[in-house]
Amino acid sequence: MDYHDLTTLGIAFGLGLLVGLQRQKAHSEMAGVRTFTLIAVLGVLAGFLSRDYQNPFILPVLGLAITSLLVAANLIKIKAFTDPDIGQTTEVAALMMFAIGAYLVMGDRILGVIIGTSMAVLLYVKERLHGFIDKLQEKDLAAIMTFAGISLVVLPILPNKTYGPYEVLNPRNIWLMITLIVGLSVLGYFIYKFVGKKVGIISNGVLGGLISSTATTVSYARKTADTLSISKMAAFVITTASAIALARVMVEVSVVVPEKIPEMLLPLIIEFVVMALICVGMFYSINKDSSNDRMPEPDNPAQFKSALIFGLLYGAILLAVAFAKEELGNEALYLVAIISGLTDVDAITLSLSQLIKTESLNANTGWRLILLASMSNLAFKGVMAGVLGSKQLGRWIAISFGIAIIAGILLIWLWP
């Protein structure tokens, strides 16, 4: 007895029950739990017959038979009901269930399970999905479409070759980094949309770090210029956003050079813990009544122009880092990290990570440069907070960022 085939049949039975249960719960007049289970089992049997008899016609003939039954059922439904449901979700799901059953036999069983389960989840979240779509604004749709264009249209057609001096400019790698950064920003933006415009101060800081810690700093600093009473709360949000920005840097490093995670992330995690402890201390010292403050409405995080600018900046930093390492030595890289980190820590992080990936830069030096760029970015945001915000905000930021910068410098200096 072939237990592998029995297992496949059991998986198809379970997936058919799962999808059929959802369709019957949704009051589908076309097919319910029994019909979907039978269709899934029929798909498996079609796969068995095609495989065992080596006949390529059995599977498509049975597929056409299922399609004919669905068409006939629709015709009967149209004649029997005065106001029939003309949606095609159940019909498409039934054909998908038959195809999944056959694919469990003829293809990758794990992939078939993933597809079947995903289909059940997609059918289940219909109402929530429709509700989310109804809430989308024009700029939300623009963000989705732009990100789709960046990741699914532009990325696949770019050449995977290196060009230019020092052999560091790879169009596909550069655009892949753009996709990563835009994707993280879009994720933060839509978390904001899910959570709502009115959230607690902790959520403000977390979402601000996901979307843009620099924009969060500017927004809250300007608020304190008009409302001095929220200075301490604004300092907490800005510090939290900067801590999350460091976590975002760690995610970027993990994505680009996963093999170097043990070597590179530990000192960055220690710096993050220091900043998190600062945030905890600030949270318990602020007025809880300020937690109802609104988070500023973020701009569209997936603008094509911004993506191009980031790509140019990333490529320029790649060249600058390669030039400094080749012509001036590793010491010059520290100056490049400080200058680059002032405006955009993501670009220098990804540039250095790419060099570490290609073994053009030592990982031990790489994390130090990344942390130094993050400290440089903290200093830049601290200056902006002091210039744009109230004096009280400047004092709080000087304390929180000062502790974080000192801790970072000590890590760079003393870490073995």
Q: What is the pLDDT of residue 410?
A: 95
Q: Are residues 281 and 367 in the same domain?
A: yes
Q: Are residues 211 and 238 in the same domain?
A: yes
Place of tokens 């029995």: 6
Mean pLDDT of the chain: 82
| CB-CB contact of 104 with 51 (8 Å) | no
Q: Note down the domain range covering 326.
A: 137-414
- Choose the final residue of a domain: 109, 132, 155: 132
Neighbours of 291 (CB within 10 A): 16
Q: Are residues 165 and 97 in the same domain?
A: no
Q: Are residues 110 and 167 in the same domain?
A: no
- Amino acid occupying residue 89: T
| CB-CB contact of 328 with 363 (8 Å) | no
Q: Are residues 54 and 163 in the same domain?
A: no
Q: Are residues 378 and 296 in the same domain?
A: yes
Q: Are residues 29 and 175 in the same domain?
A: no
Q: What is the pLDDT of residue 26?
A: 65
Report the candidate in 401, 406, 345 with the shortest Cα–Cα distance to residue 221: 401
Place of tokens 């410098």: 409
Domain count, the chain: 2
Cα separation, 243 vs 209, in Å, equals 7
Q: Are residues 124 and 172 in the same domain?
A: no
Radius of gyration of the chain (CA): 28
Q: Are residues 94 and 162 in the same domain?
A: no
Q: What is the pLDDT of residue 389?
A: 87
- Choose the final residue of a domain: 111, 132, 153: 132
Report the candidate in 73, 113, 76, 115 with the shortest Cα–Cα distance to residue 93: 115
Q: What is the pLDDT of residue 291?
A: 45
Q: Are residues 146 and 291 in the same domain?
A: yes
Q: Are residues 94 and 63 in the same domain?
A: yes
**Which stretches of the chain score pLDDT less than 50?**
198, 288-292
Sign of CA dihedral 126, 132, 134, 139: negative
Q: What is the pLDDT of residue 181?
A: 77
Q: Are residues 147 and 183 in the same domain?
A: yes
pLDDT tens digits, one per residue of 276-313: 999 998 888 775 444 445 555 556 666 677 778 888 88
Cα separation, 84 vs 75, in Å, equals 10
| CB-CB contact of 24 with 64 (8 Å) | no
- Amino acid occupying residue 215: A
| CB-CB contact of 345 with 245 (8 Å) | yes
- Choose the final residue of a domain: 132, 165, 189: 132
What length does the chain have?
A: 416
